[in-house]
Amino acid sequence: MASPFDTILASPSRNALHANIRDVVHGLGFESFHYGSNETGRSAGSADFLFDGIDPAAPSMLSDLPAAWFVRYQEQQYGKIDPIVRHCTRSMIPAVWHLQQKPALQKARNLVRDARAHGLAAGATFSLFGAKGQIALMALTTSRAARTERRNIERQLGDGCMLLAHVYEATRRLARQAAPASVKPLLTAREHECLQWVSAGKTSWETARILAIAERTVNFHIDNVNRKLGTHCRVQTVARALSLGLVTP
């Protein structure tokens, strides 16, 4: 049976992807989500690329946040001072909202107040950096900020990172399907073996024991796979390999 993340990656359409993301988000204990990327080439120094979602058909955005929040965010030009966005466009460490320092700027405090008024009381924002300068951000939110919700947010950071990686790859997969077919990168037999075991959740040490090779050799082959796929971390590498059909779940 496919995992929720595999279901996201296999989504046959944008609408199906949106529905599958929503199911996973609810399963993690969140109420809503927002995904945006700068695949269209906009500057990563601004939050503008996150809010193409005013147009619900924009390919770089998937969201179920209230439309009124987008309007308010743009009216107040919060993208220019949003401390969460500033952090996430510079770091892949998730930004847990309730663990951030209290904003010094009055406008940033207004942003927090307005977010709460629109049902975005607590959450976490995740980021992912592509090999060619792409940035994708994903916020998982809830309208409640009690201790129970905050603890759940902190517990779900790992799954939040996995979710973003799979959504990023799913959107790229759908884009590739709409474009001329691309050539899969050619992997050596050993690279493919290492990748298959890593995708099964094995560590480099465990993979080395299985294949009877040195752990540093496993890392060497995985580094080569990363380079060929244009990825920067194993979660992203596995998601990309699954989307290209290089490995099977």
CATH number for position 202: 1.10.10.10
Flag whether 13 is in a domain. yes
Pair 174, 193 in one domain: no
What pLDDT score was predicted for residue 174? 87
Examine residue 113 and state whether it is found in any structural domain, yes or no.
yes
Is 249 part of a structural domain of the chain? no
pTM listed for this prediction: 0.71
Long-range contacts, 48-54 (Cβ 8 Å, 24+): 48/79, 49/135, 50/79, 50/85, 50/137, 51/79
Q: What is the pLDDT of residues 225-247, one digit of tens each?
A: 988 888 888 888 888 888 888 88
Output the domain CATH number for residue 14.
3.30.450.80
- On whether both 64 and 161 belong to a single domain, the answer is yes
- CB atoms under 10 Å from CB of 99, counted, come to 11
Same domain (yes/no): 163, 219: no
Show the tokens assigned to 176. 């590739």
Judgement on whether residues 137 and 49 belong to the same structural domain of the protein: yes
Question: Mean pLDDT throughout 2-7?
Answer: 81
139: β partners:
34, 125
Residue 28 has pLDDT above 50, yes or no: yes
Residue 184 located in a structural domain: no
Domain presence at residue 183: no
Is 231 domain-assigned? yes
Lowest mean per-residue pLDDT among 65-74, 112-121, 206-215: 65-74
Whether residue 16 is predicted with pLDDT greater than 50 in this model: the reply is yes
Average pLDDT value for the chain: 86
Question: For 149-161, what is the mean pLDDT?
Answer: 96
Q: How far apart are CA 177 and CA 245, in angstroms?
A: 13
Residue 215, in any domain of the structure: yes
CA pair distance 237, 227, nearest whole angstrom: 10
Residue 76 is assigned to a structural domain of this protein: yes
Kindly report the three-state secondary structure assignment for every residue of the chain.
CCCHHHHHHCCCCHHHHHHHHHHHHHHCCCCEEEEEECCCCCCCCCCHHHHHHHCCCCCCEEECCCHHHHHHHHHCCHHHCCHHHHHHCCCCCCEEHHHCCCCCCHHHHHHHHHHHHCCCCEEEEEEEECCCCCEEEEEEEECCCCHHHHHHHHHCHHHHHHHHHHHHHHHHHHHHHHCCCCCCCCCCHHHHHHHHHHHCCCCHHHHHHHHCCCHHHHHHHHHHHHHHHCCCCHHHHHHHHHHHCCCCC
Residue 56 has pLDDT above 50, yes or no: no
Same domain, 89 and 127: yes
What's the rounded mean pLDDT across residues 83-94? 92
Residues 107 and 165 in one domain: yes
Domain boundary among 178, 211, 235: 178
Number of domains in the chain: 2
pLDDT of residue 44: 47
Q: Do residues 174 and 197 share a domain?
A: no
pLDDT at 145 exceeding the cut of 60: yes
Q: CA–CA separation, 26 vs 194, rounded Å?
A: 34
Q: If you average pLDDT over residues 51-76, what whole number do you get?
A: 74
- pLDDT score at 179: 60
Domain boundary (178, 202, 235) is at 178
Q: Which domain holds residue 68?
A: 4-178
Compute the average pLDDT of residues 121-140: 90
pLDDT over threshold 80, residue 139? yes
**Per-residue pLDDT band at 162 (split at 50, 70, 90):** very high
